[in-house]
Structure 1
């Protein structure tokens, strides 16, 4: 595979500068104290005014003019995005993939630098890590730099993750490791934002520990071939965990959310050499970089935010807990409210250990919850975020996303469709007030709503998300696709040569109800 030729890493420096020092007017500061999902990722706010040739963020469609709707237009569009109370909006995607998508987002926007470095480098356009599917949000800076995340097993040289317990210790329920204040001791604090993602983070911690056990079972003889000559148990386990996770990202998550035609066009089965066996290769048409891969703002601020439309108004954690919303609309965080929602940054309450069979297809019991379909509607709790999560005066997530897209000068959806050689949606299909251009985020959602009833993203959304995911995997020198294009999963699974989130959960044995 070769690096795609093409545009540089950031947009044209001649673009109109926009003051994003505060993350956009009304959007709050670039980084909130709780590191929640509403904060502006470091470096993102400065893309419109940067003149540097490299950086974390850039533009996929640099030649397109920005679309800058005013606040009245944004308010009018946001008013059409509230989920109707009488509509049946469930899709076919299992509900757990909503939060796997959030986990993936935190992985590719992980920020390992110190607070002092952030102060010295407010633009964060150079000293921010390259986005990769490498689980740095799980492993942090490793056992040497963050030893409190790990426990060492004497005599084996391996490092396993420390695991915590819930408030109900007598129940044997597990939680993230926490300090005396209840603060999670994990690689990325954002993965404690709500109970579902914190239990997902815990599942990946247990996955690493279980792979260590698998490698050392029966003296390690059965699986010794998985270890390279220079690898200890920890290094081998980390590589296998990362590669199986990468496989899940592109063969389970991405395959479920994108249009099948686009998916097969971006990830192709072709031989690397004549007469060779077909292996997975990446074909990119619009995502290109010159020196270092970057994250397109069309992806980060528009297309990948399709996940907000997947959020349900409430979830059942297990047979006894729920349905509860992820956040309580408009309410400030309070100990009195902790059992009324699935908010995070706290110890897991007794009896709240997750039943993953309600979120991923583990069994045929009929208890599986589904995400909302991909459409323009957002669940009501997201339209009145608590102040602690909103981080600014705009608490309506629809308005926040539309405002941020305008502040960053994203092109309209119709122009992106034309740039891809597609027929854009017309005014009647877009169903916007007074017609006109559609913000890219809204366009992606409405396109999906009209495409296959919102079961997957449409052509524009699928192309942006699939090319960014595949490009990141191809550009990562440590990925399975870069190191071993013909590699297939080796851990036990329902289907040999495949590996899904359901397989990962079964392998750990965590959250699996009999």
Structure 2
């Protein structure tokens, strides 16, 4: 796929359009020199289909759009990109641990795959590989788990009976009686989104959500279906009721657990707040958006997708301990799927090796801090494995992920970080704080990471990053007509937790009973 030259225009309040120059835009969102993806599997290094066609005007149209449509693009050249990327190598011997349990890195990746799910059929993709018409509105609806449902993708589910609604089929680890894996055919995972088999940690997270659905189905039908009768809405069948409860509890985790962990408290409480009802009763949740707006259909802001939400790359540790006996690097420079490499790394797209069942207490706060691994701090540094991605994850070539992220931001015309801060009414970081060669504008992704590092000690995102992520997350929930926020803003989780109405990833894992082996 080659780059095209498109005319970039911006509309002024007076209605006139000014020429902002000719900008080379790679329709894949990654430069030719970075290598084009050759695998049909969409992974975290693969460009989201259609991102090359971002509206250049102030109109909020299309799948992707701009949150700050009045700001000029900042387009660093390749030398500048290389120089900035050179500042992002993890220093040796530095104390880089943050405060967030390491599992939230991969929960964030799981969420990203959910809101960028592409349900177009393989035939449609072959006929129109770059079209936007078949994308759905971004929603927290677990399509990456449910796929197109049991009627359209029955191979994802066990055959239902009169007593049991459709449950997900669950695989077994070869040679083990008690270890579970994703269901597979010739080693390929049979799941709603193949990206969720990209590494061992996210594949076990995908499995956990499948088991969560199965457990909710069982919970609804136990004791003569009393829970089903209590919690169904309208004419919901058991499967539909289970799916809604799974989605709503997941949405609660996204907003009240994950988002609360990663953004600064002041921004969180400004964007999501509770409002008492005028006639008494429980308070309802409300969303306050200052910068994210849309007309008609919501879109995915590129300031979020290409910059702010890519803070997750900074969280990745170079190495993880799955259980008492298995500790491996997340990637190696060798092939992640080559023969004989199965025991060297946590790369995916393969059956889970025997003895590699995850212990979630090492990734989420289930058993206290003794064995808990933490994320890396949110800062400008990336773990070494991300600076040389294996070919299967980077389009057949070895790629520095820092350079790829910066190049995408340039090709999509993101504004500079300082300009976004000023547009928000926030004092921007100074040249000395940004520590860029030659000073000048900062790529937005780099700015978000550096801001978190300096303003909040790398423990949460800073004010600019927090505002973008919080508004997009809460905006997507607000715009979704099937979400709990749209249907029942006073709703609270109904599944067991430490306190009624509270539900976190630790509660979800405990409810499934999966991955609770003693650490």
TM-score range, shorter chain: over 0.9
* Residue of structure 1 equivalent to 2:63: 56
Partner of 1:494: 498
Match of 1:351 in 2: 355
- The answer to whether the 8 A contact 2:160-2:167 is kept is yes
Distance 2:18 2:111 in 1: 30
1:375 paired to 2:382: no
Q: Which ranges in structure 2 are unaligned for 5 or more consecutive residues?
A: 1-11
Partner of 1:423: 427
Contact 1:13 1:50 in 2 (8 A): no
1:248 pairs with 2:253: yes
Task: Give the one of 158, 163, 174 matched to 1:156.
Answer: 163
Could you tell me which of 81, 84, 94 is aligned with 2:88?
81
Distance 1:364 1:411, change over 3 A: same
Is contact 2:275–2:283 with CA below 8 Å preserved after alignment? yes
Question: Structure 1: how far apart are the matches of 2:49 and 2:120?
Answer: 11
Take 1:300 and 1:175, find their aligned partners in 2: how far apart are those partners? Answer: 30
- d(CA) in 1 for partners of 2:444, 2:389: 23
Query: 1:416 deviation in Å?
Result: 0.1
Give SS of 1:19's match: strand
Q: 1:99-498 alignment to 2 at 5 Å?
A: 99-156=106-163, 158-170=165-177, 172-179=178-185, 181-271=186-276, 273=278, 277-322=282-327, 324-331=328-335, 333-364=337-368, 366-391=370-395, 393=397, 395-498=399-502
Using the size of structure 1 for normalisation, the TM-score is 0.94
Is residue 299–residue 464 contact of structure 1 (8 Å, CA) maintained in 2?
yes
Structure 1 position 117, deviation (Å): 1.5
Segments of structure 1 that go 5 or more residues without pairing to the other structure are 1-6
Paired residues of 1:13 and 1:51 also in contact (CA < 8 A): no
Can you list the C-alpha shifts for 1:166-189, whole angstroms capped at 9, x where unaligned? Answer: 12333x10000000x100000000
Deviations along 1:279-321, one digit per CA (max 9) or x if unpaired, are: 1100000000001000000000000000000000100000000
CA contact (8 A) 1:215 1:237 kept: yes
The number of equivalent residue pairs is 501
Residue 20 of structure 1 and its aligned partner are, at CA, apart by 1.8
Is the partner of 2:189 in helix, strand or coil?
coil
RMSD (Å) for aligned C-alpha atoms: 2.0
Under a length normalisation based on structure 2, what TM-score does the superposition of the two structures give? 0.93
In structure 2, distance between residues paired with 1:107 and 1:358: 24
Alignment of 1:36 onto 2:40 = no
